[in-house]
Structure 1
Amino acid sequence: MPTNPHGEVHRQREVAESFGADAERYDRARPRYPETLVERIVAGSPGSPGSPGKGVFDVGTGTGIAARQFQALGCRVSGVEPDPRLAGQARRFGLAVDVATFEDWDPAGRRYDAVVAAQAWHWVDPVAGAAKAARILRPGGRLAAFWNVFRLPAAVADAIAEVCRRVVPDAPFDFRAALTGAADGYQAVFAKTSDGIREAGGFGEPEQWRFDWEWTYTRDAWLDQMPTLGAFTRLPPGRMAEVLDGAGTAIDAMGGGFTMDYATVAISAVRTSTSTGARCP
């Protein structure tokens, strides 16, 4: 979750580069993305004549969670990831990942059918990122930035937020709002993404897609994921252990599990032409 969704999130580099502290946990615990979304992106990308599969470039690859879903549909996937620990984990799955920010990454003339970013575009400058995407996309190619946005059940969120307020009283944001109103917080990110695409040029009008789904968590599965969230990645181990202990007790008292509502939201736009209208860096 963006820890400050109404500010310049992409400038919060200390948060953006904190997710690799436990790359194996990140890959194990983070949710995947709806297959219907991945299929829609692939179907809406042009393909390269004479090449097997569609060429997909993954911005902020992380451990390769989304990249592997595109590979499973026959795509040729490569990516860029600023955290060498996450990139190393992705490479263990056979993915080709360069270590750099997308803004600084050199495409060396390479072109793609789709540029995607899973849970990562808010760490990219929205205008410079869209301009770079326009530069590397073929005509008709698709840019798709998407996020899994969760909303904890109110009772679970209240209990966990109370633990967090006690253990981390100096946190610069409201834990309960972050745990129950993530979709509201992300609206600013969606708007900045669309505005950045329009300002960069070279794309048609951005579209917003939404896919609603749910997932049932056991106590242990949720506690495994919590340390990978942006609100917690920089907590000292002792404080994190206290938060997890309190959260686990609260979930046990509610029956040992819960069902989470998710909305996966994508901002997508199609590269209109090979003209120089895009403000490419």
Structure 2
Amino acid sequence: MPILHGEQPEQPSAQPHGSRRMAESFGADAQRYDRARPGYPDALVTRIVTGSPGPDVLDIGCGTVIAARQFQAAGCAVLGIEPDARMADFARARGLRVEVATFEDWQPAGRTFDAVVAAQSWHWVDPVTGAVKAARVLRPGGRLAIFGHVYEPPTEVAEPFAAAFRRAAPDSPLNGQPARRPLDLYQAAYARFADKIRETGQFKDPEQWRFDWEQSYTRDQWLDLLPTTGGLTQLRPDQLAEVLQAVGGAIDSLGGRFTMSYTTLVATAVRADAS
């Protein structure tokens, strides 16, 4: 079972943007989310910034400003849109301008941007409505960039996790998946994002980028991150404890740490000039 279960489309026909309860479950512990979740490759941020006509960025589903901080550090002025008021409060406390709304319901009030980004959040947006609205709020030549991580832990960690999750939450709709899902399943999801962008007729031909990198985790670091993932944010404390105990034991058997191979996928396109 993938560690990001519930945070990427489960299957081609899935409509995760309709799962508002899960989408807004991550703010239950915003501080842990901000502490444990990884940032994004600097090369990705640089490529978006240099490929945009100016510094004004709209961050859809900004969460705890993990991505926004990186764009601010690159010299951008960032406005966040966040449906979870708890996440929005956390982001504001760290200096980000945030408006509370889903992207579909958000009112731009005539404002336009040089880049619209969605970091690990576009699957919570209606893909048709979202692409059309992104085109509407982008200046000609502005860039839409949808990106997120694929991180499937090693088999020695993934299989004990999947078994423990099935025991702890036997009725979860997330059960029945393999312990590790292939990268091409995620790539197919980003290809569908690109297709919806293309169908608007308001963008130049979309591109797909890929960034591969690694990060080492200790047992404690990984157990800190796990409760922030979609399938675990809604477990009862006893269920969560059972899963964490099993995963902790698996990491102990590896010497107390492991290296995670990350792939960050991107679907991106430039707004065509107004005709």
* TM-score grouping bracket, smaller chain normalisation: over 0.9
Name the stretch that deviates more: 72-81 or 163-172: 163-172
User: How far 1:35 moved relative to its partner?
Assistant: 0.2
Partner of 1:51: none
Quick one: distance in 1 between partners of 2:247 and 2:273? 51
Unaligned runs of 5+ residues in structure 1 are 48-53, 276-281
Give the aligned partner of residue 42 of structure 1: 49
Tell me if 1:17 matches 2:24.
yes
State the partner residue of 1:163. 164
Q: Deviations over 1:140-195 (max 9, x none)?
A: 00000000110211111112222222222222234763x52263442342133112
Alignment partner of 1:180: what SS? coil
1:258 paired residue number:
258
5+ unaligned residues in a row in structure 2: which ranges? none
Structure 1 stretches of at least 4 aligned residues deviating more than 4 Å after TM superposition = none
Q: Contact 2:217–2:260 at 8 Å: present in 1 too?
A: yes
Q: 1:29 aligned to 2:36? A: yes
Could you tell me how far apart the structure 2 residues matched to 1:175 and 1:30 are? 26
Match of 2:220 in 1: 220
Give the alignment of 1:17-166 within 5 angstroms. Answer: 17-47=24-54, 54-166=55-167
- The CA RMSD over aligned residues, in Å, is 1.4
Identity of aligned residues (%): 59
The answer for the alignment partner of 1:232 in structure 2 is 232
Structure-1 separation of matches of 2:182 and 2:80: 27
Q: Distance in 1 between matches of 2:77 and 2:249?
A: 44
The 2-side partners of 1:107 and 1:160 are apart by 42
1:47-68 residue CA offsets vs partner (Å, 9 max, x unmatched): 1xxxxxx001000000110000
Q: How many residues are matched?
A: 268
1:42–1:175 CA distance, 2 compared to 1 (3 A): farther
d(CA) in 2 for partners of 1:22, 1:133 = 29
**CA contact 1:212–1:263 (8 Å) conserved in 2:** yes
Change (3 A) 1:182 1:121: farther
